[in-house]
Amino acid sequence: MEVVVLGSGSKGNSALVRAAGSALLVDAGLSARQLRRRLDAVGQDPARIEAVLLTHEHSDHIAGLRVFRRRFPLPVVANAPTLEATERIVGESLDGSVEQATGTCLEIGPFRVTSFPVPHDAAETVGYVIEAEGVRLGYATDLGHVTHLVHERLASCELVVIEANHDRQMLLDGPYPWATKQRVASRHGHLSNDHAASLLPDLARSSARAVVLAHLSETNNDPLLALAAVKGALHAEGLDAMRVELARQDAPAAGVAV
């Protein structure tokens, strides 16, 4: 199984998951044009994507959905509150969508997809565990803190995409208005580099062999700081064997396969 983060950050998020000749998208927050371009760049035929899973309805996760589906009418998979909120925002009904109650499992082609709740300020934000070919990918961006459930779900995965949104000091010192800083740093906002760094040694000791750090803020983070925090935490516990990659906003990240 391979994950290619097509783009990630506050300007748009989408990831491609491939296994057994099939594929899924997680979120469609890049423009439809960028989605097509980047899928092309990584050699993925959009017509062969089984579905798009939504984590939540914030615009950086759904911005390209409506236009992309005009050309490629793939089913949208999400829980009912997220589907409703998304339909309200895009201003039309998402025909052929599939409702997946949070916490349940859905078979889509070769994939077994299970969602889990994460703490974030949208209708009902989820992360996903996607299983295929005997391995699991855990996907969690847009969460204010790591709950026991999030920890437990990600600990079962060989491959992990986790948010490293901001450096706490850069957020404090940065240009955001105070209310926005509070929102980002809150327990329903976004994970800091330190949050990600304190989680990863545990994941490396359980199942994880590779991680992609995602949703890095261009304003309140520096990729080198995110990498240093996470690699430092792994190194301190002798877990350097874990592969750490960074997602990018402006281009697809390196594909990571397990």
List of residues contacting Zn ion (CB under 5 A) = 58, 60, 142
Report which residue's Cβ sits closest to Zn ion. Answer: 58
- Closer CB to Zn ion, residue 219 or residue 240? 219
- 224 CB neighbour count, 10 Å cutoff: 9
- Closer CB to Zn ion, residue 36 or residue 58? 58
Which residue is it, tokens 């800083």?
181
Least separation in angstroms between residue 12's CB and Zn ion is 9
Rounded alpha-carbon distances, angstroms, from residue 167 to 105, 163, 174, 219, 244: 34, 12, 10, 10, 17
Q: What angle (nearest 5°) sits at the alpha carbon of residue 200, between those of residues 52 and 176?
A: 70
- Closer CB to Zn ion, residue 64 or residue 201? 64
Cβ neighbors of 223 (< 8 A, separation 6 or more) are 216, 246
- Closer CB to Zn ion, residue 60 or residue 167? 60
Least separation in angstroms between residue 227's CB and Zn ion is 20
Least separation in angstroms between residue 249's CB and Zn ion is 11
Collapsing DSSP states into helix, strand and coil, what is residue 67?
A: helix
Which residue is it, tokens 């994970």?
191
Least separation in angstroms between residue 11's CB and Zn ion is 10
- Which DSSP letter does residue 218 get? T
Least separation in angstroms between residue 255's CB and Zn ion is 22
Helix axis angle for 193-206 and 223-236, nearest 10°, is 40
Euclidean distance between CA atoms 119 and 189, whole angstroms: 8
- Closer CB to Zn ion, residue 27 or residue 131? 27
Least separation in angstroms between residue 56's CB and Zn ion is 6
- Closer CB to Zn ion, residue 142 or residue 167? 142
